[in-house]
Amino acid sequence: MSKFTKKKSSELPPISTASLPDIVFMLLFFFMVVTVMRDTELKVEQNLPKADQVEKLKKDRSVFIFAGKPSTQYKKNFGDEGRIQIGDKFTDISNIGLALKEAQSKLNPELQNKIVVALKVDDDTNTGLVTDIKEKLRELNMVKIIYITTPGNQLDQ
């Protein structure tokens, strides 16, 4: 009998799971802090082209222009042609200036002169639309642009 009890006591105690909630909470807080809820709802398709010679976007000084075909639920009202979206609404090419000025005023005042326009354009768009945007940007004197891409190389396909 005594043999029995001895054996039992030498067994490894079970791992305590009491600290599990703490660990999970730690992870939880990390993700809660990191999560940014999207501030704009995408209304155009966004399959970005691939490129590997890229630079990082400086988020604090950039405004976004989205372009592409309207996504399925907007197709009925806005057609199949490439469209421009700034903020959460569709914008006409002639109104880009106003929309960009508005976005620019929301940036940190010190960085407003260093504004970078990030172009997020669907890979199925015609270059003509992009050219129109660029022409407009030149007129607005916002000459720093960045074409947002996804990592990869189109030659590998």
Partner 1 sequence: MARRSAPEVNAGSMADIAFLLLIFFLVTTTMEKDKGIARQLPPIQDSNIIPPKIKKKNLFIVLVNKNDQLLVNERSMELKDLREAAIEFLDNGGATSSSPDYCKYCKGKRSISSSDNPNKAVISVQNDRLTSYNTYIAVQNELVAAYNSLRNRESKRLYGWEYTEIKQEIDAGTYLGDKEATQEKLKVIQQLYPLKLSEAQPKKTGN
Say which residue the tokens 């989205």 belong to.
Answer: 66
Residue 108's closest CA among 48, 155, 63? 63
**Cα→Cα distances 23→8, 18, 28, 33, Å:** 30, 10, 9, 16
Q: Is 98 in the site for partner 1 (CB under 8 A)?
A: no
Q: Is 40 in the site for partner 1 (CB under 8 A)?
A: no
Site for partner 1 in 117-146 (CB under 8 A): 118-128, 130-131, 134, 137-139, 141, 143-146
- C-beta of residue 84 within 8 angstroms of C-beta of residue 90: yes
Q: Is 114 in the site for partner 1 (CB under 8 A)?
A: no
Q: Is 88 in the site for partner 1 (CB under 8 A)?
A: no
Residue 148's closest CA among 33, 88, 67? 67
Q: Is 97 in the site for partner 1 (CB under 8 A)?
A: no
Residues that bind partner 1 (CB under 8 A): 17, 20-21, 24-25, 27-28, 31-32, 34-38, 49-57, 59, 116, 118-128, 130-131, 134, 137-139, 141, 143-149, 151, 153-155
